[in-house]
Amino acid sequence: GCKMLTNIGNVLRAGAQRTGAAALVSARTYSDFTTQATFEIKKCDVYKLDEAPATQVVMTRDEGLQYYRTMQTMRRMELKADQLYKQKIIRGFCHLYDGQEACAVGIEASINLTDHLITAYRAHGYTYTRGGTVKEIMAELTGRRGGIAKGKGGSMHMYCKHFYGGNGIVGAQVPLGAGVALACKYLGKNELCVALYGDGAANQGQIFETYNMAALWKLPAIFICENNRYGMGTSVERAAASTDYYKRGEFIPGLRVDGMDVLCVREATKLAAEHCRSGKGPILMELQTYRYHGHSMSDPGVSYRTRDEIQEVRGKSDPISMLKDRMLSNNMASVEELKEIDVEVRKEIEDATLFATTDPEPPLEDLCNHIFHNSPPTEVRGIHPWSKLKSVS
């Protein structure tokens, strides 16, 4: 299950414990650091919007450290998942999020944990930012009892409070997200729902049907296309007649954002969230991002793009390196301090991996549990499939 975390202002609320001040800094005190700085960020392209997100933004040292730790945790977690998959410890489907960390962290920095989020099957990062622990996520990947969905969901189906999980059906999470947004409006709680989908899913008919209903009913929904440039082995140019995903809501305003810059994503999401909360209805965002791995584990990811392209993105616009450079060049942190965070993150991943590889698998009797939300219906012949299951292992 998930821990409900306290709301620390606009600082990212992540599963990791906040140890900004605990890091060891050799021969320097914290008072030497710049506590906040202003950054120039890329301009967003806007569609049917009167205002655009700011291009000058302030980030505090604490926020920077928090974003850095969260992105680093997500990155290391995915690299570990890749390793465990190759050792056949993780089986089945597995879609990795490395390269796209700035999207999740930027979005979460601008919404509350009481807001709602639903995504596609590239879901590990969001499970973490929504409050899942590395331990629960890794154990879910290896199908163990201590996993966030008790080992029954695996990579594509993780859930926790206000997080409606990954969805294995391409595009299906978008209408579900609109349903959650409808609930937000119906209950009058001033909450919103973020529904994420990829550039491949953007061509699904159900997404356009959802746009239509969301616009008619003025639902507080932020539709976010994480455009990582390739569907399952197909570049966006070959898959979409219009690759301006942020304009494809037609009657819904849109924003196109640099999805590799956590501050760009944060500013754009801030504007989108205000738009929804002020009753103006849905808004669309396109985050231009990149995935370092293949589409899934069965895709080496180099037949339809070059290794050079991947290396170039890593070299020029890696979300973690970009944040690190900003912090160091503005005297917001020291190299030693960030290294210390890296060490702590590595240890957290190693501990989680140990748990995920030693925790027992759920017993066979558990197969049919958790089907009903509360108590199962009355005794009728044949409706309790688990009454005749016996585990022999």
Catalytic residues: 291, 295, 304
Instruction: Name the strand (E) or helix (H) holding 196.
Output: strand 193-198
Q: Is the dihedral of CA 146, 150, 154, 157 positive or negative?
A: negative
155 contact partners, CB below 8 Å, separation of at least 6 = 81, 90, 92, 93, 94, 95, 121, 123, 124, 140, 141, 166
In this structure, the strands spanning 254-258 and 45-47 are antiparallel
Q: How far apart are CA 185 and CA 296, in angstroms?
A: 36
> Burial letters for 214-231: b for 16+ Cβ neighbours within 10 Å, e otherwise?
bbebebbbbbbbbbbbbb
Q: How far apart are CA 348 and CA 235, in angstroms?
A: 36
Phi, psi of 288 (to 5 degrees): -85, 105
Contacts for 341-347 with beta carbons within 8 Å, 24 or more apart? Answer: 341/19, 341/23, 341/65, 341/68, 341/69, 341/72, 342/72, 344/19, 344/23, 344/69, 345/16, 345/69, 345/72, 345/73, 345/76, 346/76
What distance, in Å, lies between the first and last C-alpha atoms of the chain? 27
Tokens of 118: 């639903």
